[in-house]
Amino acid sequence: LCAYQTCLRLSRLTTDEKLKSAFAPFGQLLEAKVITDRVSGRSKGFGFVRYASLEEAETARQEMNAKFLDGWVIFVDPAKQREQKPAPQPDTASSHAGFTINKTVGWCG
């Protein structure tokens, strides 16, 4: 099965369960996930829903965009592929002893 993902801007009070119940009526919902901070466990204010078909995802987008969920107007957008970050390049400014030179200049205090 191919999945179609939608990105949502949400209230920080919205849970996975509330998100799932709000988006379930629009098709075969494969996943409803609110993104949380790793340290605090609190919502970051956005999440994703995944549907089995593009038609279901588009219906959900049309029906739920700019609607209220948990007292907050939510915005529903097609999810974009995460861009791959380029691999870090090795630092060519090394001393003869094999130590890397710190190029950061700043003030403390």
> pLDDT tens across 7-20, in order?
888 999 999 999 99
The CATH fold of domain 4-78: Alpha-Beta Plaits (3.30.70)
Q: What percent of the chain is predicted at pLDDT more than 70?
A: 72
Beta strands in 1-109 (DSSP E): 4-9, 29-36, 43-51, 68-69, 72-73, 75-78
93, amino acid identity: A
> pLDDT tens across 26-42, in order?
999 999 999 999 999 99
**SS3 state at 82:** coil
Q: Which residue has the tokens 């001393």?
A: 95
In whole angstroms, what is the distance from residue 16 CA to residue 76 CA?
A: 16
Note every long-range contact of 28-35, with CB atoms under 8 Å and residues 24 or more positions apart, other chains counting. Answer: 28/52, 28/53, 28/56, 30/1, 30/3, 31/3, 34/10
> How much is the pTM?
0.69
By the 8 A CB rule, do 51 and 30 touch? yes
